[in-house]
Homo-oligomer: A and B are copies of this chain.
């Protein structure tokens, strides 16, 4: 181990050309004859050359690295995060970029540090809140950024998200079509609403609007994530609303507890009560019965976010807001 790394000048010598020629072969920024190109690429292969990232970043003022800022607090849908992170990394690699992982608890300072030191060329932020302290910083950072989620003041920012309002509405409409007249939404833990997290609130709003439009009655409640409190909530709900025949669950961690609680209170799904979840497909499929669900397209959100960022890095204009349309998959629970 540990021979010194191959440099571009060794490649140039080996191929019998100038250093700059090697650089142009590799970047494609100037025309190079087919013959020279081949010789250079051969030398690159033979010597096992990998351009030094630091030198490249210094000279070109591009690090080819983007930052991914993950939230790491309670109440987050962890598996969704993970899916999301994966798709960001995969898509970034497709554009020949790497991903630097930052946690939200470093806050604005972390972002400023990564940007100001030219460690990264751009930023993708997850789980942006309605009133997010990082938003002002992003607005006057030289580096472009893309947010997952919409802060309340999103002017001048590029935001992507699932259209949660539509997702909430979709669930209501589906249940209405199935003939249900009284339904309930079980959402995120109350702390998530209090924090002003956009996706939770927007789902609730979409739910409310669709309820009004379809003429259904019902309530929207926060939902904790431990079995006992889920059970209590379900019991309370069933007692107070005897006509209730449908449930929308927007809480990945609680959804299995909800099913358990219904089983325990003797209700059959879907015969006594129908359940629609807003959650990843794998969770919906592993439940019993498999749940009709609205998929959270984490992968596509990640892909879109990276694409938009790459566009901005190229200096192209991009739309301010991108809302991904939810898709409802009917399974056995409705």
Binding site for B on A (CB under 8 A): 1-3, 5, 48, 50-58, 63, 65, 68, 70, 72, 78-79, 81-82, 85-86, 89-90, 93, 98-103, 105-106, 112-114, 116-119, 139-142, 225-228, 231, 253, 256-257, 259-260, 263-264, 285-288
A53 and B117 in contact (CB under 8 A), knowing A256-B260, A263-B260?
Answer: yes
Q: Which residues of B contact A260 (CB under 8 A)?
A: 256, 259-260, 263
Output the least CB separation between A50 and chain B (Å): 4
A101 and B89 in contact (CB under 8 A), knowing A82-B81, A286-B225?
Answer: yes
Instruction: Tell me the nearest residue of chain B to A286, going by C-beta.
Output: B226
Instruction: Tell me the nearest residue of chain B to A72, going by C-beta.
Output: B86
A118→B1 contact, CB < 8 A = no
B98→A100 contact, CB < 8 A = yes
Output the least CB separation between A334 and chain B (Å): 17
C-alpha spacing A54/B118, complex, angstroms = 7
Output the least CB separation between A142 and chain B (Å): 4
Q: Which residues of B contact A285 (CB under 8 A)?
A: 226
Output the least CB separation between A160 and chain B (Å): 19
Counting every copy of the chain, the complex holds 2
Output the least CB separation between A122 and chain B (Å): 13
C-alpha spacing A58/B55, complex, angstroms = 6
A99 touches which of B50, B100, B231, B288 (Cβ 8 Å)? B100
C-alpha spacing A256/B225, complex, angstroms = 12
A99→B98 contact, CB < 8 A = no
Sample 24 A-B pairs with CB under 8 A, ordered by A number. A3-B142, A51-B117, A52-B118, A53-B54, A53-B118, A54-B54, A54-B57, A57-B57, A58-B58, A65-B100, A65-B119, A72-B82, A78-B78, A81-B82, A86-B103, A89-B102, A93-B106, A98-B101, A99-B101, A100-B101, A226-B288, A227-B287, A227-B288, A256-B256
B48→A1 contact, CB < 8 A = no
Instruction: Tell me the nearest residue of chain B to A55, going by C-beta.
Output: B58
A53→B119 contact, CB < 8 A = yes
Instruction: Tell me the nearest residue of chain B to A114, going by C-beta.
Output: B98
A98 touches which of B119, B141, B228, B263 (Cβ 8 Å)? B119
Output the least CB separation between A136 and chain B (Å): 12
Output the least CB separation between A158 and chain B (Å): 14
Q: Which residues of B contact A2 (CB under 8 A)?
A: 142
Q: Which residues of B contact A105 (CB under 8 A)?
A: 90
C-alpha spacing A114/B119, complex, angstroms = 15
C-alpha spacing A256/B55, complex, angstroms = 51
C-alpha spacing A102/B88, complex, angstroms = 11
Output the least CB separation between A140 and chain B (Å): 5
A54 and B63 in contact (CB under 8 A), knowing A79-B79, A226-B286, A227-B288?
Answer: yes
Q: Which residues of B contact A89 (CB under 8 A)?
A: 101-103
C-alpha spacing A141/B90, complex, angstroms = 24
A53 touches which of B63, B99, B141 (Cβ 8 Å)? B63
Output the least CB separation between A134 and chain B (Å): 15
